Amino acid sequence: MFKKISLIFLFSCGIFNCYAQQTIPFRITKHNNIIVKTLVNKKDSLDLMFQIAMEGASISPDRQRKADHIVFNKDEISENNTVQIGKLTLNNIRFSDNQLTGHEADGKIGTALFGGKAFKIDYDHNQFIIYNQKPDLKGYQPITTLYEEEAFYIAADNIIDGDKQQEAYFVLQSGYSGGLLYSNDFAAEKELDKKLKITGEKTLKNSSGKSIVTKQAILPFLKVGNSVLKDVSAGFFVGDLKKQTVNYFGADLLRRFNWIFDADRKTVYIKPSKYFSEPYYKIN
């Protein structure tokens, strides 16, 4: 009788799915950053910001909590660390020292969290899900991704002038709290300073007197897959110093979708989250 009950249980929960995933809870700050509570080397309790554009981990010089048990070499690198998050233990994690991070975080941790497996960023339930088997993709749409130098790139259509679509590739950047941040080349080529509605700007100068101007603007429409976002917050740089070489798809836009990344990092599946129509984050 016991054997029959056991078999019924296995089939009812779907033999291949009962142990097909692990869950990592997180919280989202008011700046749209994802924070994960960790225990490093069984000694240091650290709040680390999830950075999708890196694989390893790092410690901030502005951290609020001690990280005395992460030992760095002369190159500010620490190898073979363990990171515990709830019941999950990650081994052989590399930490870099003195990297700035987001608000409320002692450092950063990247996609090493997922060990090369398929994973989900579930903004509806504030959790990551790591899959051992193929996840349920019902209701999700696929988007081709390019994975290079620890970063994910996706293509999106920018409606800048009338109904003309301008395709651009964006780096998914969970460390940037805002919406879009355009590269210098894209901003200049598309004349964003003239064609977008400017909502604010700041001018900074370095010790040589060279200036950098950051401008905040509104993009009328952004199309990501089959989803269209309206009046999107977008930033770009003008002036003497312009160092933005890639376009960013920031945390304010990331939170508007739930994301499932496949194990080979060639496709991501997206579905609008509960934040899809929320007001846009304002860059101060």
Query: pLDDT digits over 2-45, tens only?
Result: 344 344 434 444 433 444 589 999 999 999 999 999 999 999 99
Please indicate, yes or no, whether residues 108 and 150 belong to a single structural domain of this protein.
Answer: no
Please indicate, yes or no, whether residues 49 and 109 belong to a single structural domain of this protein.
Answer: yes
pLDDT at 142: 97
In a domain, 36, yes or no: yes
Range of the domain at 230: 141-272
Cβ-in-10-Å burial (0-12, 13-18, 19+) of 267 comes to middle
Asked which of 131, 152, 174 is the last residue of a domain, the reply is 131
pLDDT of 77 above 60: yes
Q: Which residue type, as a one-letter code, is found at position 267?
A: T
In a domain, 2, yes or no: no
Please indicate, yes or no, whether residues 147 and 263 belong to a single structural domain of this protein.
Answer: yes
Cα distance between residue 178 and residue 156, in whole Å: 17
Phi, psi of 140 (to 5 degrees): -100, 150
End-to-end CA distance of the chain: 66
155 token code pair: 């293509």
pLDDT of 239 above 90: no
The answer for residues whose C-beta is within 8 angstroms of residue 45's C-beta and 6 or more apart is 37, 38, 39, 65
Please indicate, yes or no, whether residues 110 and 174 belong to a single structural domain of this protein.
Answer: no
pLDDT at 207: 59
Please indicate, yes or no, whether residues 86 and 198 belong to a single structural domain of this protein.
Answer: no
Cα distance between residue 185 and residue 247, in whole Å: 9
In a domain, 284, yes or no: no
pLDDT at 206: 62
The tally of domains found in the chain comes to 2
* CATH code for the domain in which residue 163 is found: 2.40.70.10
DSSP-derived secondary structure for 17-84 = TTTSEEEEE-EE-TTS-EEEEEEETTTEEEEEEE-TT-SSEEE-TT-SS--TT----TTSEEEEEEEE
Please indicate, yes or no, whether residues 156 and 265 belong to a single structural domain of this protein.
Answer: yes
pLDDT of 88 above 50: yes
Three-state DSSP class for 12? helix
284 token code pair: 């101060």
CA angle in degrees (0–180, nearest 5) for 30-48-257: 50
